[in-house]
A and B are shown apart, each in its own frame.
Chain A
């Protein structure tokens, strides 16, 4: 946590050397970056531009063309956008609502549980290393494996959860066949999955707070609650904001859990924007609509991040990224 701030090359003297030297230095820097930049342009930005351009076409599996057939899709202007936002059959608004619920619930729970665990692990307790290792397991296990495991536990007839409920005399829950319960199920899975990352990062943040501050506070007679609100929280803020932003972006774009645990069902009720965009592309074969969803998702995330960093900068003068 004590690395230098981004964008300030460490220990570099302010360049007041001759212009020639500066240019020469930069030429080398550009040369060093060239391969990566070229790869990014070919692999990321070119396909991205293509994807955006597809969102203005009626591309589907029949008119997309192939090695042997000329593509025959047409530009349709903003039709896809209009369809998505206004068509009565469009699932955009329900899916958008589900995405917001999904992201907000997940990230809040990740943060709250992660912070509580980090606070506890930051104390001098016996077995801290072992606890820490066990608590990291959900992060270490490949997410598709976790998804399968949870899906198995949610099984209506033979699953663990309904068996446990039966033991205490509760009716079995239709985990994956009822819209509300399916939402609960995917969120449970993803909360389990996301807590460890939040926990380790926040723990790192806590450990970088100098112990002398707490000592001084104790000498001044501050209670532990006061210490938490006056020292811990303010000093944790930069880390907390960064990791929350990352968490929001990742959760918003989380594909595996939804797709593998609930398959977006029942009746698309647990679909979020990314999984639904995938369904539009590879189940309904509407590539035009699917890429339009992609553009909408990207716009939402970029505008959100910009606003988020602005608010953060205004509130504290700190920089995210």
Chain B
């Protein structure tokens, strides 16, 4: 009897803790959603209400119609840059990750460390040489420049993730394929790659998201409004005009929802990929 009572109290405690934590986790997003549906008069007031009193779509309409649809231009820029970065990263990373996973060769350790080391590079150390090189080559204000800069993080990230996934594919499959007369390239191309489609998709997704969210390089290299990516474009609502929180919120919500949806499908794969290297089973 006493034990049961104790358990009940414990369960209430656990749920209270989790509910409070969940509220904190989700609140800034809910607040953005609420802000995005409020008319201006409910934004610049000290008489705040949690939910909009006069619900309106005007902020969304304003953002979508701004300057002949520049919001769509920003979205397009972000997609072009993020997608190219992802394709480039995967293209270069896949075979390398496979080699790191399957072969033991002199220099492997050093090379893997050099990939890991890029995690520690402060953007500030690369951004200046990039700025200088791009200036000489005329790559400032161009997609190409930004894509190259993003590849510096995307490529090692893809190699690292894919290596962890390849490690989980049983080696026997490849041995069987070799017995059947497939060469190493054929084994990779016909056996390993098809098996890895899900992990390639997950890696692609996260490398896409990283580029999609990047701010510092985009802010520095793209100085013309029609070349902004989404983060830099949204920032113009926050800083340059009078701070238009309601418009910023509407724009932010529109680009956050798709990311959120995909994220929840993909997140469990990311964690195992990122941490497998450091933990022992």
Contacts and interface: CB of A to CB of B under 8 A. Distances in A.
A50 B129 contact: yes
Interface string B110-140: 0111111111111111111111110111100
Interface stretch (B58-66, B69-77, B165-173, B193-201): B165-173
B4 interface: no
A142 B116 contact: no
How extensive is the interface on chain B, given as a class?
35 or more
Interface string B135-176: 111100000000010011001100100001001101110000
A113 B17 CA distance: 11
B271 A204 contact: yes
Given A3-B272, A40-B155, A255 B96 contact: no
Interface in B11-42: 11, 14-15, 17-18, 21-22, 24-26, 28-29, 31-32, 35
B57 interface: no
Contacts of A302: 117, 120
Interface in B249-264: 249, 252, 255-256, 259-260, 263-264
Q: In the complex, which of the residues A11, A43, A204, A239 has the most CB atoms of chain B within 10 Å of its own CB atom?
A: A43
Which interface residue of B122, B129, B260 has the most chain A CB atoms within 10 A? B122
Interface in A31-46: 32-33, 35-37, 39-40, 43-45
Given A39-B151, A48-B126, A208-B279, A66 B136 contact: yes
A117 B95 CA distance: 38
A3 to B, nearest CB: 4
Interface residues of A, number: 113
A150 B129 CA distance: 33
Given A48-B125, A295-B125, A282 B133 contact: no
Interface stretch (A80-88, A104-112, A225-233, A273-281): A273-281
Nearest to A256: B215
Contacts of B280: 5, 238, 318
Contacts of A294: 122, 124-126, 128
Interface in A126-176: 127, 131, 133-146, 148-153, 155, 157-158, 160, 163, 166
Contacts of B111: 33, 37
Nearest to B100: A33
Interface string B86-107: 0000011101101111111110
A44 B128 contact: no
A239 B14 contact: no
Interface in A278-321: 278, 281-282, 287, 290-291, 293-295, 297-298, 301-302, 305, 318, 320-321
Contacts of B278: 6, 238-239, 241-243, 320-321
Given A48-B121, A144-B213, A12 B171 contact: yes
A87 to B, nearest CB: 19
Contact of B31 (A4, A10, A160, A301): A160
Contacts of B186: none
Contact of B96 (A35, A45, A65): A35
B234 interface: yes
B224 interface: no
A2 interface: yes
B59 to A, nearest CB: 13
Interface of B: 11, 14-15, 17-18, 21-22, 24-26, 28-29, 31-32, 35, 43-46, 48, 91-93, 95-96, 98-106, 108-109, 111-133, 135-138, 148, 151-152, 155-156, 159, 164, 167-168, 170-172, 184-185, 188, 209, 212-213, 215-216, 220, 231, 234-235, 238, 245, 248-249, 252, 255-256, 259-260, 263-264, 267, 271-272, 274-281
28 contacts: A5-B280, A9-B103, A12-B171, A28-B184, A29-B108, A35-B92, A36-B92, A37-B96, A40-B114, A43-B155, A44-B118, A47-B126, A47-B129, A48-B126, A64-B132, A123-B14, A135-B21, A144-B231, A149-B249, A152-B31, A160-B31, A160-B48, A196-B25, A256-B216, A274-B124, A277-B125, A281-B128, A281-B131
Closest 3 A-B residue pairs measured CB to CB?
A: A294-B125, A242-B278, A2-B281
Given A39-B155, A141-B28, A141-B29, 4 more contacts: A1-B281, A11-B171, A131-B22, A246-B274
